[in-house]
Amino acid sequence: MEGHSTESTHTFIRYNPERTDLTVSEPELQGIRTASYNHWKDFFLVAVSVGVSCAINAVTLTPKPFALTGPLFLNYLAAGLGLALAFVFCILWLRSRKDLDKLITAIETKPRYRVEVTSSGMGAVPPIILRRENGVG
């Protein structure tokens, strides 16, 4: 056949044997995926932005002999609600972050296995041997 190479194509992977790879099951992967879509942080940032800006606006608009007007009341109300919601969303954000940390710790504490690749000649697929880190396996 003209134009076709008779050499086989090889794929190489550059791998650092000192690196630790972790296996993740489907439920663990789903837990990581769910935790990464953490909307509590977004709600917290929006509530802080609204609360702080309304508080600054309310303080600067407050007349020296204090007189409560409709717009001033609404500014104080929005500031109070924004900062209160920001506090609640911050607690929910930190709680969901703890759940993610627990999941990652559970993945990292799985039993360790040593991977040994032996050479078996040209063109042959080398067998991979898994051994538990403590020698059992």
* Residues 127, 115: Cα–Cα separation, whole Å: 10
| pLDDT at position 5 | 52
Question: Sorting pLDDT into bands at 50, 70 and 90, what band is 1?
Answer: very low
Tell me the residue type at 6.
T
pLDDT in tens, 57-94: 999 988 888 888 888 999 999 999 999 999 999 999 88
Who wins on pLDDT, 9 or 50? 50
DSSP state of 122: T
| pLDDT at position 22 | 80
Tell if the pTM clears 0.75, that is, is over it.
no
119 pLDDT more than 70: no
Tokens 């690196």 belong to residue: 19
Query: Please, where are the H alpha helices in 1-137?
Result: 26-36, 40-61, 70-108
* Residues 84, 6: Cα–Cα separation, whole Å: 72
CB–CB of 116/129 below 8 Å? yes
| pLDDT at position 137 | 46
